[in-house]
Structure 1
C-alpha cells in the first residue's frame, strides 16, 4: 500500500513491488465490483482479496521496513527522528489529499476534532473507525505500527526475552480477536470497529518482520519459491468457507488465510521471477503507485459516477460495465501523475536528512 523508499545502498525488492501493485489493483477492482453489483460472496476470490489484500499490505510493510532498517535503527534521537520523518512525509501528504477530497465529495461538514485527528494521523491511535477516505482506516493502523516498529525491531535484535514477550503479546491479540472478540454469528459490518482495531491487525505487520528475520539468509530454489506461492494462493482461493465475510476473519478459517498471506509474501520475497520487460515495467509501476491507487480509487469512482449520472439526465444512458472500465483507467492515470508529481516530491523531502548521513 505504501511503498518504502530505501536507502541508496539497499537494493529495492522488485518482486515485493509486484505483489504490492497486484494487491492494490485487486482491492480497487473488488471495490468497483462491489459498488456496481453489490456485496460479493466470501467464497469468491475478489471477496477474499477484499479482506486479505490489506493483510498482504501489512506483511509487506513489516518485511520491507525490517529489510531497510535492520541493524541500522537505534533508540538515538537522530536515528528515530530520521525514521519517523521519512515515514510521515511518505504517508501523510496523500492521506491529507484523499481526506480533504473525500470530505468535499461527501458535501457534509464533519466535526473539526475528527478532521484534525485524520489529518494528523492520530485517529489510528484514538478513533481508528473514524475516517473519511475509503480504506483510510488501514493507514491509521499503519501509523500505529510505525510508532511501534523501533521497539519491535530493536527488541527482536537485542534481547531474546523481550522478543518472546512481544511475540506472545501480539500473537495473543490475534488469537483473542480471531476466536473471542469478533463474533462469527454477527455481520462483519456491525463489528467494523472491532475489525479495524490496530491490535486486530498488528500480527500481519509483525509477521512481515518475522519473515525477514527468519528467511533473510535463505535461498529458495526457483520451483520451491513458486510452489510456496501457489500453495498460499490455493488456500486463499479454495479453502472452504460460508458466503458471509465474517467467516473469513474468525476461527480456524482466519488461521489458514493468515498462513496463505504469509506464504504468498514469502514466495515473492525470496523468489527471483524473471518477467518480460513490458510486464516488469507495468507491475513495477503498479507497485510504485500502489498507495495512490489504494487511496484515490474511491474518489475517482465517485467523480466518474457523478459524470455518468449527468450524462444519463441528458439521455446518454451508458452501461454499468463502461463505468467500471472508465474508473479503472482513470484511476491508473490519476495515480501515475499523483505519484510522480505529488508523492515523490514529499518522499524526497522526508529522505533528505536520512540520505545525508549515508
Structure 2
C-alpha cells in the first residue's frame, strides 16, 4: 500500500522543532571546532589516499544510512545526529586533504566560499516569494528553483562585493586602529 504524500510531510510540531535556530547551534559549534582543529593540523603531511578512502566511506554511509518513515525523520532525533556527525566528519576529512582545485571548478568553489553567508541570508527572501509566484501562474516548480538559484547567486555576489567586502575592510582598519591605540 503506497504512503500518502501527507504522511511524509512534517507535522506542525516537527516543523517548529526543525526550524528552531537553537537546533542548529551544534552545527555552528562543530564548524568552530573544525576550524580550530584545522588550524593546528594545517601544514602537516597527510596521507591523501587514506583521507580519500575515508571520505568515500563517509559519503557511502550518508547515502545508504537506513531511515524509515517520512522526510521529517531525516532532520529530527537520532537520525539527524548520526547524519550530522557523518557530515561534520566528512567536512573535516576533506579539510585535511591537500587539494589544489584549479580552473573553473576552483573559481566556482571560491565564489561559493566568499558568498556563502549572503546565499544563506538571501535564499529564503528570493526562493519563497518566487515559489508562490510560480504557483499562482501555474508554472512548473522546478523552474522556480532554477530561477531562484540564478537570482540568489547574482544578489549574493553583489552583496559580497558592495557590502561584505567593504565592511570587512573597514572592520579590519578599525580593529588595527583600536589595537594600536590600546598599546600606547
- Quote the Cα distance in structure 1 between the aligned partners of 2:25 and 2:89: 17
Q: Secondary structure at the match of 1:242?
A: coil
- Quote the Cα distance in structure 1 between the aligned partners of 2:77 and 2:135: 39
Which residue in the other structure is 1:353 paired with?
A: 174
TM-score (norm. length: structure 2):
0.72
- 1:309–1:355 distance in 2 versus 1, CA, 3 Å: same
Which residue in the other structure is 1:206 paired with?
A: 29
Which residue in the other structure is 1:239 paired with?
A: 65
Residues 67-91 of structure 1 deviation map (CA, whole Å, 9 limit, x = unaligned): xxxxxxxxxxxxxxxxxxxxxxxxx
The number of residue pairs the alignment matches comes to 169
C-alpha contact 1:289 1:339 (8 A) present in aligned 2: yes
Which residue in the other structure is 1:342 paired with?
A: 163
C-alpha contact 1:235 1:260 (8 A) present in aligned 2: yes
**Superposition deviation, residue 267 in structure 1:** 1.8
TM-score (norm. length: structure 1):
0.40
Corresponding residue to 1:250 among 77, 90, 106: 77
Q: Counterparts in 2 of 1:315-330, with a 5 A limit?
A: 318-330=139-151
Corresponding residue to 2:13 among 190, 210, 221: 190
- Quote the Cα distance in structure 1 between the aligned partners of 2:62 and 2:97: 19
- Quote the Cα distance in structure 1 between the aligned partners of 2:122 and 2:163: 13
Q: Counterparts in 2 of 1:263-274, with a 5 A limit?
A: 263-274=89-100
C-alpha contact 2:134 2:140 (8 A) present in aligned 1: no
C-alpha contact 2:126 2:152 (8 A) present in aligned 1: yes
- Quote the Cα distance in structure 1 between the aligned partners of 2:130 and 2:72: 31
- Quote the Cα distance in structure 2 between the aligned partners of 1:309 and 1:231: 40
**Superposition deviation, residue 289 in structure 1:** 0.8
Structure 1: gaps (5+ residues): 1-37, 43-186
**Superposition deviation, residue 336 in structure 1:** 0.9
- Quote the Cα distance in structure 2 between the aligned partners of 1:318 and 1:335: 25
C-alpha contact 1:188 1:245 (8 A) present in aligned 2: no
Q: Secondary structure at the match of 1:288?
A: helix
RMSD: 3.2
Residues 232-288 of structure 1 deviation map (CA, whole Å, 9 limit, x = unaligned): 22222110011424433313x344213202211212321122223211001110111
Q: Which has the higher contact order (CA 8 A, sep 6+)?
A: 1
Higher helix share: 2
